[in-house]
Amino acid sequence: MSMINYASREINCKIVYYGTGLGGKTTNLEYIYSRVNPDTKGKMISLATETERTLFFDFLPIDLGEVRGFKTRFHLYTVPGQVCYNASRRLILKGVDGLIFVADSQASRAEANIESMHNLYENLETYGYDLSTIPFAIQYNKRDMPNILSPEELRGQINPLGVPDFEGVAVDGTGVFETLSCVSKLVVATLA
């Protein structure tokens, strides 16, 4: 649920990066943070406990324009990768405006991708959210690794809705901004 700040004339939107542990969610956020204009972003905050970590920062993109005279500010979050931290994953999804699922392209991680995608559906359901109505894209990350599945194989396993998907290598930025731009534009379109 987008929040409107009338004083600053901003609409605050929440985009959550979801996926498997060590799949590249944090690397995506760190890459974006390193490339966003320092004048338009807040601090990166790491909410860490002994066993899990969630990253967060916000930024004000200048190329998406205004919605009814309001600027859009995006708050980007990662969830803990391991499904055993489900309570945190579910809590971070509350009020989500857009989702990016970061899948690990390595064949050995196929089952983890499927499990994490099912977990996403279950957690959204607890809030009454329908993934088919939320701006959503998938990034097939780690395309630079050996023994990877083809995009077609990954689509067959985790993209039954046929949402926009992108190949990525988060460590060098390949596909990172393309994925974020897609979801950001979809979020803005829902506000108009």
pLDDT in tens, 42-82: 888 877 666 555 667 666 665 566 777 888 889 899 888 77
Residue 3 has pLDDT above 70, yes or no: yes
104: containing domain = 3-191
Whole-number average pLDDT of the chain: 89
pLDDT at residue number 51: 59
Nearest-angstrom CA–CA distance, 105 and 153: 10
Residue 17 has pLDDT above 90, yes or no: yes
pLDDT in tens, 115-151: 999 999 999 999 999 999 999 999 999 999 999 999 9
Are 136 and 158 in contact by the 8 Å Cβ rule? The answer is no
Number of domains in the chain: 1
140: left (phi over 0), alpha (psi -120 to 50) or beta: beta
Are 141 and 78 in contact by the 8 Å Cβ rule? The answer is no
Percent of the chain whose pLDDT exceeds 70: 89
pLDDT at residue number 64: 64
What CATH number has the domain bearing residue 44?
3.40.50.300
Residue 181 has pLDDT above 80, yes or no: yes
- The alpha carbon of 121 is separated from its chain's Cα centroid by a whole number of angstroms, namely 14
